[in-house]
Structure formats: C-alpha cells, structure tokens
Amino acid sequence: MEKSKLAPKFAGLLTPAMLAQVQAEIASFGELRSFDFTGKSEAAVLTIYRYALTFASGMEYDWSIVLDAEGKIAGSRLLR
C-alpha cells in the first residue's frame, strides 16, 4: 500500500497487524467476481465513492472509499 495516497490520520490506523487481519478475512471470501461502481456523494470536504463487490463464495459487500479535500484516502468501509 502506498502510504502517500492516504490521509495521515487514516494511515496511522492501518497497522501491519490490522492490515493482515483484513487481508485474511477478505481472502476467506474467495475470488472477487465483480467490482461495480454504484455511486458518488459529497459531504462537506469529503467525497465518497461506493462499489458493490461479489465474491466466489456468493458474499456481497458494499465498499465505500472516502477521499479528503486533497484527494487522499481518509477512510474505507466494507459492509455486508
């Protein structure tokens, strides 16, 4: 992961242990079958991009990526 693309506060939350845990969990979903853009919204100085993900296991998730005013990733959320 290229840390220069992340907002400092968000980068500080992404410890190696946390990233390893997230990576292991997502790997358990199986192969990614579809990755579709579902929308964009704005809230104050943030831009939120939303995607629908479907995995080989049949699991479906909504993934949001939040960009700050400088275009850096300020957050990410994966919801079932």
Amino acid at 35: F
- Cβ contact 80:57 at 8 Å: no
Helix residue ranges, H only, 16-73: 16-27
Per-residue pLDDT reduced to its tens digit, 33-76: 999 999 999 999 999 999 999 999 999 999 999 999 999 999 99
CATH number reported for the structural domain that contains residue 67 in this entry: 3.10.450.590
* 2 — pLDDT class (breaks 50, 70, 90): confident
Per-residue model confidence (pLDDT) at position 12: 92
Quote the number of domains for the chain.
1
| Sign of the CA dihedral with 14 first, then 2, 20, and 67 last | positive
Beta bridge partners of 6: 73
- Domain of 24? 3-79
For residue 1, is pLDDT > 80? no
